[in-house]
Chains A and B, each alone.
Chain A
């Protein structure tokens, strides 16, 4: 059984159809990348999978671990092991990063029938992950994402992913706003998370992140449909040729 099976998924926001029949299968242990021009529906796909309620599903189905993902609330999907690294991480003033992370971890553990973790057990685990991402301890006591730099916010997303250990991680434009050093650190963090039990879906506009996180498959999303799929070399091809050629393909596209 595949970890994620997207079948002919259609979704709209307001009256605008954005996903027009997406098909994609992701197995545990795999890293896939979704690339595409601005406005092609990449972020919408990521958010629909994470069950953001402002999108209306108009067709298709999604199985996550064999279960109907589209019937889940965001917190259920999270507790089932789906993690979204946000393109624009949100600030939660007055709540420390450490407290937030522990609350999230415990919400998920509780859902799975595990004991909640107290601060004494949690902190060492957290510190270890911090090191992995070359992050300052001080970020733990600061309010979630408040007054974080762009790079710190993105690293913080990966830190959360490392702590929550999801089955499926979706990275939405995690590379945007990162300088080359930060990009490398973030990529190392993600690579450390690669495992036979886990799948990662990397959504990106640019190829450069894929130099560091080398995907097993690359899919090109244009106008709400996947128009091409291939190996990592497809990303390089796109880098050279741009998305322009793909637009034609979109019109007569058949799912990859």
Chain B
């Protein structure tokens, strides 16, 4: 690259995080540290039934044994200083009047925060087809569109409400895809998760609107542990979008969420994520540690689970939205754009576990590295012995911007049935000086040219996003790349 475009890249990379601001609201927060008492406090605060407390305690004991054995996972291609789990406060809820009847009763500070984020909740109600379950710190503060969803029998509520009002569903499915023993962070989440979203779509119902949740970390030094559970019963279908932004903090913050999806016979779940947590400043100071376990089970025959993610934020991203293709003829998809700029690190990918016959999976991963960013794709495709006639297609592309960043690929393929068909394509490229010159010669500014090339690179994935969010994702990508262009 020429020095001129390098300078523009640097300028773009140095752009400040636009969504950094802190809302001052009264806060109800647990003291720092994690013991059995913390778990009991959380469970009591949330007036949970006994089975929840039992489950949390089992999870805590399991996590505690891992922590004592120093079994925090170390295999990912990421670097960070040790996390002091006793220095984190595990519960924080904004103080507010209980049982809001309408948005008007919401803390005006919280409402203003959402407005800055561009999700004016008050107007969300009007927005056709989008219901928002807003999670402010750990407690859901507002849920809209519930009535309309209730008409068709769709349950869309905070996890706490689900525990209260639909304990039998929670009991049946909680931990059935991601058990608390799954991994270190999943165990931690199971022990201390404070809230999240719950969706149940009954038999034969197509959810009439996109379901959307905005998560938000607000209080300093508060780990956030969300848990989402989505169940699509036989023949049901639902599309769910999760979007995240977070304000500037100096200390690193841990975000260890768990998402479980369950699709029964002929059911479809589409789960889209736009993740824009605070990535740290341009020197790598601060930023979110995003250690997330996301997994879907295609339990029924002919079911389908599709993950689409656009990951532009977080100092560190560690997540592998996966599909267990248990039902015959079930389909798993993973479409991913992961961008690392400045000193961001991402180790992300998917697992496709083929168990049922004629199961199919598609993986399309687009990694973009700029600045000093390190971007790793890690994916596993496993065809079990019984999975006759199964197919996988994997495409894994990396784009490098500048010469200080890195792209890494770790595909694991394990095939135990000889009738399976596997395809794997991978590429690594740089934004070429010739591409830049070509676009600039046609009148485009450097940053617009880079934005165009990157958006073109990601097009296959953006096509999978719900229309209204695809536009947002493109903008986010351009903003995240500002200062990085070459």
Binding site for B on A (CB under 8 A): 50-54, 73-75, 77-79, 83-84, 86, 88-95, 100, 103-105, 107-108, 111, 143, 160, 164
The answer for the CA separation of A74 and B437 in the assembled complex, in Å, is 7
Contacting residues, chain A, for B440 (C-beta < 8 A): 73-75, 78
Given the interface contacts A73-B4, A90-B434, A95-B452, does A78 sit within 8 Å of B459 by beta carbon? no
CB pair B459 A104 closer than 8 Å:
no
CB pair A54 B4 closer than 8 Å:
no
B228 at the interface (CB under 8 A from A): no
The answer for the CA separation of A83 and B442 in the assembled complex, in Å, is 7
Additional A-B contact list (11), CB under 8 Å, known A83-B441, A95-B456: A73-B440, A75-B446, A78-B441, A90-B437, A92-B456, A93-B459, A94-B455, A94-B456, A103-B448, A108-B443, A160-B442
The answer for the CA separation of A83 and B459 in the assembled complex, in Å, is 28
Query: Of B2, B443, B444, B457, which is in contact with the most chain A CB atoms at under 10 Å from its CB?
Result: B443
The answer for the CA separation of A160 and B438 in the assembled complex, in Å, is 12
B400 to A: closest C-beta gap in Å: 15
CB pair B455 A164 closer than 8 Å:
no
The answer for the CA separation of A78 and B4 in the assembled complex, in Å, is 17
CB pair B438 A111 closer than 8 Å:
no
For B457, the closest partner residue in chain A by CB is A94
For A111, the closest partner residue in chain B by CB is B443
The count of residues in chain B whose C-beta lies closer than 8 Å to any C-beta of chain A is 27
A201 to B: closest C-beta gap in Å: 15
Chain B contact residues: over half helix, strand or loop, or mixed? helix
CB pair A54 B443 closer than 8 Å:
no
B432 at the interface (CB under 8 A from A): yes
Chain A contact residues: over half helix, strand or loop, or mixed? mixed
CB pair B441 A100 closer than 8 Å:
no
Contacting residues, chain A, for B458 (C-beta < 8 A): 94
The answer for the CA separation of A132 and B202 in the assembled complex, in Å, is 57
CB pair A75 B445 closer than 8 Å:
yes
For A47, the closest partner residue in chain B by CB is B437
CB pair A92 B433 closer than 8 Å:
no
CB pair A94 B459 closer than 8 Å:
yes
Instruction: Name the one of B3, B433, B444, B457 contacting A107, with C-beta atoms under 8 angstroms.
Output: B444
The answer for the CA separation of A103 and B451 in the assembled complex, in Å, is 12
CB pair B432 A92 closer than 8 Å:
no
CB pair B444 A75 closer than 8 Å:
yes
CB pair A107 B434 closer than 8 Å:
no
CB pair B438 A104 closer than 8 Å:
no
CB pair A78 B433 closer than 8 Å:
no
B439 at the interface (CB under 8 A from A): yes
For B458, the closest partner residue in chain A by CB is A94
The answer for the CA separation of A204 and B440 in the assembled complex, in Å, is 24
